[in-house]
Amino acid sequence: MSKSPAEIKAEILRLTRQFSAATHAANRPGEDALRPAFVPGQTTVPYAGRVFDEKEVEAAVSATLDFWLTLGPEGDAFEGELAAFLGVKKSLLVNSGSSANLVALSALTSHKLGDRQLRPGDEVITAAAGFPTTVAPILQNGCVPVFIDNAPATLNADPDQLEAAFTPDKTKAVMMAHTLGNPFDLTAVTEFCQRHNLWLIEDNCDALGSRYDRKLTGTFGDLSTQSFYPPHHLTMGEGGSVNVIRDMKLKVLTESFRDWGRDCWCASGKDNTCNKRFGWKLGELPEGYDHKYIYSHLGYNLKPLDPQAAIGRQQLKKLPAFVQARMDNWNQLRAGLADLEEFIQFQLPTHATAWSPQGFAWDNSGHQTECSWFGFMMLIKKSAPFTRGEFVKYLDEAKIGNRMLFGGNLVRQPAFVSLRQQQPAAFRVVGDLAGADRIMNEAVFIGTYPGLTKAMLDYMVETIRRFVQSKQ
């Protein structure tokens, strides 16, 4: 007797779980007993990576068998679940964190925003050291990034430079990242934006689960963004989201720029939710032109696939455990390297003044942060008897993954050097960016991601200590 489609699918998914368990054990969480044994010096210790089990693989296969493919029911569900986790009005899935930044900034250029529309030549304040696609959308939309310096201790933008960066009638927005999961000074930045009636976009790609005064980052601005690339706090493979914090008119605009620039807000596969599909008169189109083919913006097609969203839904269930693992792993590394402060400056959370085995000491602002750490950052002091280059070479040879702070001081990158030569007014710099330069020259980070085992963390500590001792 032949099996029904439901029975066939159930059998496929059973075998999928079995296959995943047999094939992907190395991608399980660090504390999972099914992970293969770590062999020091032979097993690579990544700085980041995918952490998943058979649930994600089963979800992806199940959604693929349903063959909706383009963003659909799994995407709708994930958007709702992510928005509920963050406590925001709407989360809109896109195909990457970089696309999320592009959509978020582009949405603010809409003519539908009236006097608050970002126009070519308007200025957007951002941080000099970081990832380039936090800044690229500003330029791609014809606006002018204004770079302020980063504080080496936190890696975040120096809020004391905000007023110096402000130009009346030209500055219209602030767009910056919570660096490596460390919230930037949200009190200073939000008060500055409110005082000058500026938009605020939080690049939350490295900080999902971080908190400022117990409130999740990505929920303070007008819009925020996430990345679901494999190194990030949860993964869909490729993927990201734009989060609409409060004002739902921004939902319509972000959707438009994500979905070809269309004016229609109907979901894929749905028609006439406005009940006047053939009753619109917009632009110079004839009255009654099909609303599904009316375009109010010069948009893109930046949606992910539904099987990716199915993976993301399973990852989201594990996010609290992932965040806790990142915090625990950071603390284990910090405690293990505590006596190396003579040579290495370690990152501090915003508003913290010092670390001890008992915890952080805080400044007198009354504010505190909790970091869902993307990485464990170290700055090699100029007084150290070794260079960063020597240090990272040793880590590489020991098979310990490491990274610089992304693009370092972005204005030193070839793209920006060339831009400055060809268009001197394309961007503006406040001060000498000494902090961003120091980060560019001295910073390196290693992993805190949830796939690290205790044995891996111990090996990282032992290796770093051995290197430092060899140079004394």
Range(s) for CATH 3.40.640.10 in the chain?
73-307
> CATH 3.90.1150.10 spans which residues of the chain?
320-471
Place of tokens 């370690």: 346
Quote the pLDDT of residue 301. Answer: 97
Q: Determine the residue type at 435.
A: G
Contacts of 456 by beta carbon, 8 Å cutoff, 6+ apart: 30, 38, 43, 45
Backbone angles phi, psi at 389, to 5 degrees: -60, -45
CB neighbours of 146 closer than 8 A, spacing ≥ 6?
123, 124, 125, 126, 165, 167, 171, 427, 428, 429, 430
Give the residues across from 244 on adjacent strands: 90, 223
pLDDT in tens, the chain (472 residues): 789 999 999 999 999 999 999 999 999 999 999 999 999 999 999 999 999 999 999 999 999 999 999 999 999 999 999 999 999 999 999 999 999 999 999 999 999 999 999 999 999 999 999 999 999 999 999 999 999 999 999 999 999 999 999 999 999 999 999 999 999 999 999 999 999 999 999 999 999 999 999 999 999 999 999 999 999 999 999 999 999 999 999 999 999 999 999 999 887 778 888 889 999 999 999 999 999 999 999 999 999 999 999 999 999 999 999 999 999 999 999 999 999 999 999 999 999 999 999 999 999 999 999 999 999 999 999 999 999 999 999 999 999 999 999 999 999 999 999 999 999 999 999 999 999 999 999 999 999 999 999 999 999 999 999 999 999 8
Q: How far apart are CA 51 and CA 317, in angstroms?
A: 13
**What is the predicted pLDDT for the residue at 300?**
98
Q: What's the pLDDT at 266?
A: 83
* Domain 73-307 class, CATH top level: alpha beta
Active site residues: 232
CATH topology of domain 320-471: Aspartate Aminotransferase, domain 1 (3.90.1150)
Give the relative orientation of helices 454-471 and 388-397 as an angle to the nearest 10 degrees.
140
